[in-house]
Structure 1
């Protein structure tokens, strides 16, 4: 049988089988992550160390849902995402301490998302071939590895599953009506936003779907449904914004003005387009940040954004231009908007997880354009893209099997990534491999001279060797920016070891001034105050540290020592 015959039989099979089965591809592709453990990249606070989520009882559930106190929200990531938190709690009730079970839930949610989005592509295009190609590209794309393999991205994969389910039901309502469908779509949308706040952009996606679809519903009915849908999402989104704003999670705009922020978006958009086109390497962090950059770093993203938004706007105004490709392109920009830094500044400048939901639209647009080509061209090109995606994903997934591999890759992708070198040095020091810790620190400083994190690490290594004067001098060089508040805290402990109590108190107070809501800083202030005999200040600081991190044994011990008024807390940094 020739190539044409094979292509014909494959096309016939695709037309007979529902594309939702693509979920099995996602399940098989990521099944091995069930053998992975934690990575020390936010996983501990959400899963391992969060005692509140370890026990399923009425009190714990009620606190997740209704306790808006600063301490409670701090323990839950400074966010209000109760559905995310309850899903972790349910995992502990199901799997106990078997972390593989948490990974398994993540994979199942991803497989479900792939299945639902492939079904949505079918509902929007009425083409099984296009839906299959979109679903397979989505299921296998390597930019999704972070969302699936990283337990702390539970909110991303859970929110995507719920949102895609909601939009699929909403699409059915727009085609056939039915109050139950409308109600179900709205209720599931509430759950989606309560899993990940930024999926509120789903309301914008529904606007596009309502414009693109031929619907028997009148204009007023569609407007009322879209309005009710958006209002339901806001019921959860507004409390989340309030919590995040009050706790400093919503950060000031990056750069010195709107122009800098726009340039940052163009740089990030250039990076995202490169990643979507399999132009890795993929990593947990990228060299995208505010400030001046070469034209090549931002111009492709700027041109693509301008052209893309323009043609989508044209399609919105001209019905004859409303193709599936244009709908996919509109989806890309709608879901990219919340992480563009233009609407609200997000903490990371660029990240793979930010294009998890947007990628569906771009892949659907690519599939729609590919389907316009002759079958003899479209099918081989589509197959090659899927195989390339699988290869990248199989290479990328093991990088999330350990913290060391994750940050070794980050440092390899961007050697100027000081945070990655610092993390590697910290891990080596924890294993008492000081030679390797020094090697990582020196390498990092060669690529990022004067970086405060690496100078801080150098100071800690010098202190571990008993070279206190050199450690203090290095720490003083590191204490240069507001983000270095931890440096001031550890510098206070070094001064305390040298017997310089006044300097120690000054540094501890400065650390708390720069960042009061950190258990480490409060604990250090308590230790210094206790050492100089100010037990009242010490107890207040220890109590605050325990409120910020009640499960840290050092905080519990210090409270007990404070109560005894006779023992002295340790002063090692």
Structure 2
């Protein structure tokens, strides 16, 4: 019986679900706490409009990303259960849907056999674990599902224009989950060319693709217009990756050229995985190094292979173009992002890499049994590595242990070790580690915030003031240092400065209850009751 696209999709979806299933035992870890667990509006949304006008990150964290599709899915989860195991179970379903949809897309442009191989390789890829094993990884999964739906609908819309509705809905789902779906208009052109390569004139193919591409473009533009209204910036990144501050486009591109070797390693040889790719574990340099030269050779070789095989094995060229297209938004070249490298961001790009591998593999003149056994070995190895990696996101302790093991020199590891040292009462060691973290990533304010909290607890008011002012100078868009500064100034004896800082903090973050309540307490202590009542009319003042 001939293999069909739906069968390939079903097989890929089932394998992806089996590989991701162990993550159901995981809890809320790291970013899950701030994005999902501690967001009361997700548990009790006042209205759909209120849900759709909330930024992805809490406003106290800057709140410039807008991902309404993902937040809506979390709110729906809370309607059923607040257990993290339920959230992870839903992620398993999203992972299965993504693998199935992308496998179906592969069959439409490369045939059922190649589509099945691509789908299976994608389903077991170890680089996906960060996306499937953490709750916040759902953004990658939902975006991939929407991306695939939009492209499948685009290919079908040529015969039935009503499929343009699927293009619009898929694009809305994808861009509402993650911003890299802005590449969909170009991806539509790519899949049309991939399907018709060598069979039709490229001008006719592009003409057939234009209605669907235009449909995706309209949705993407509307998203960024709405994002500007909600989050205050259409293209503002959620943060700036440590090591990239002060670099222009050319310098960022040069620095990321060397770092791109990590992408290739993770996509093709994902044996060593890491919870962290930050300075000083990963070196960001604009100088000329051996890694720059090696990376240039790799990219040139890939480009030459794609060009030479474009006629005989077009899947190589299509896969590599997909890889470049989907990795560009997270490459820090055109728009800087808040991470240098993150395994979860390779989720969608990995489909292109798997297509570039599967296409020449299918054309090898090997006995079918030999190719089948090779595929089985690769799938077993990938699935085994993926399943073994899932417990890293079991809880914060497991994640911290993995971070110490995977990236002992990273500023984030030093930061977490410093927090743990203070928790254990090891004041001197905690101070040393947090100072080392701040030195490794001076553009990250978090370690200074925690050091200031430790100084506040010890009554070292002047030292706390210094750290908080430095933190605000580094990143003035975050609420925590603004909320702590008035208290530190008050402890240092600067009553006037404390009151002024309290008013300024409350005005900057009027929706942050912690900041406003802290400001009121400081104003009352500074005997500025009338000003305190402008923030909380019912406040009582002594005397």
Q: For residues 143-166 of structure 1, what are the alpha-carbon distances to aligned partners after superposition, in whole Å with 9 as ceiling and x for unaligned?
A: 111111221232221111122122
Equivalent residue number for residue 343 of structure 1: 334
Unaligned runs of 5+ in 1: 1-10, 544-558, 569-573
Aligned pair in 2 of structure 1 residues 395, 254: CA closer, same or farther (>3 Å)? Answer: same
In 2, Cα distance between equivalents of 1:221 and 1:447: 54
Structure 2: how far apart are the matches of 1:268 and 1:238? Answer: 33
Kept after mapping to 2: 8 A contact 1:50/1:75: no
Query: How far did residue 457 of structure 1 move?
Result: 3.8
Name the CA shift for 1:387/1:368 in 2 (closer, same or farther; >3 Å). same
Residue 81 of structure 1 contacts residue 196 of structure 1 at CA under 8 Å; is this kept in 2?
Answer: yes
Structure 1 residues 487 and 30, CA, compared in 2 at 3 Å: closer, same or farther?
Answer: same
2:356 to 342, 347, 365: 365
Structure ranking higher on relative contact order (CA contacts 8 Å, 6+ apart): 2
Q: Distance in 1 between matches of 2:405 and 2:288?
A: 22
Higher deviation after alignment, 451-460 or 151-160: 451-460
Aligned position for 1:172? 156
- Within a 5 Å distance, the mapping from 1:173-252 to structure 2 comes to 173-174=157-158, 177-214=159-196, 220-240=207-227, 243-246=230-233, 249=237
Give 1:228 deviation, angstroms: 2.7
Q: Which SS does the other structure have where 2:341 is aligned?
A: coil
Q: TM-score, normalised by structure 1?
A: 0.78
**Contact map agreement 2:485 2:498 (CA 8 A) in 1:** yes
- Sort the Cα spacing of 1:91 and 1:458 in 2 relative to 1 into closer, same or farther, 3 A: closer
1:104-183 matches, within 5 Å, as 104-128=89-113, 130-174=114-158, 177-183=159-165
Aligned to 2:85, which of 100, 111, 115?
Answer: 100
Residue 255 (structure 1) shift: 3.2
CA distance, structure 2, for counterparts of residue 532 and residue 84 of structure 1:
44
Give the 3 Å change call, closer, same or farther, for CA 355–181 of structure 1 in structure 2.
same
Q: Tell me the residue number matched to 2:275.
A: 283
CA distance in 1, matches of 2:148, 2:14: 17
Structure 2 CA distance for aligned equivalents of residues 457 and 186 of structure 1: 45
Query: Tell me, what secondary structure is at the counterpart of 1:564?
Result: coil
The answer as to whether partners of 2:69 and 2:173 remain within 8 angstroms in 1 is yes
The one of 19, 27, 44 equivalent to 2:17 is: 27
How much has 1:366 moved relative to structure 2? 1.1
Report the Cα offset of residue 224 of structure 1.
2.9
Gap change, CA 1:513 and 1:301, over 3 Å in 2: farther
Contact 1:159 1:195 in 2 (8 A): yes
What is the CA deviation profile of residues 243-279 of structure 1, one whole-angstrom value per residue up to 9, with x for unaligned ones?
4453954557843322221123314422211211215
Q: Provide the rounded CA distance (Å) in 1 between the counterparts of 2:208 and 2:3.
A: 38
Counterpart CA distance in 1 for 2:351 and 2:428 is 43
Q: CA 1:254–1:395 in 2, change beyond 3 Å: closer, same or farther? A: same
Q: Aligned-residue CA RMSD in angstroms? A: 3.9
Query: Residue 434 of structure 1: SS of its match in structure 2?
Result: coil
| CA distance 1:372–1:138, shift in 2 (3 Å) | same
SS at match of 1:18: helix
Residues 305-454 of structure 1 aligned to structure 2 (within 5 Å):
305-308=299-302, 320=311, 323-373=314-364, 374-375=366-367, 378-426=371-419, 432-435=423-426, 439=429, 442-443=432-433, 454=447
8 Å contact kept, 1:441–1:457: no
TM-score scaled to structure 2, two decimals? 0.82
The offset of 1:126, in angstroms, is: 0.9
* 1:63-111 Cα shifts (integer Å, max 9, x gaps): 234x489999779943333322221121111x23222111111110001
Q: Is the 8 A contact 1:194 1:237 kept in 2?
A: no
Instruction: Write the mapping of 1:518-529 to structure 2, written as runs, cut at 5 A.
Output: 524-529=518-523
Change (3 A) 1:399 1:438: farther
- The answer to whether residue 61 in structure 2 is matched with residue 86 in structure 1 is no
Cα displacement (A) at 1:182: 3.0
* 1:394 to 1:322, Cα distance in 2 relative to 1, 3 A: closer
In structure 2, relative to structure 1, the CA distance for the partners of 1:461 and 1:51 (3 Å cut) is closer
Aligned residue number for residue 263 of structure 2: 272
Partner SS state of residue 347, structure 2: helix
Deviation at 1:323, TM superposition (A): 0.4
Aligned to 1:371, the other structure's residue is in SS state helix
Q: Which residue of 2 aligns with 1:54?
A: 43
Offset at residue 16 of structure 1 (A): 11
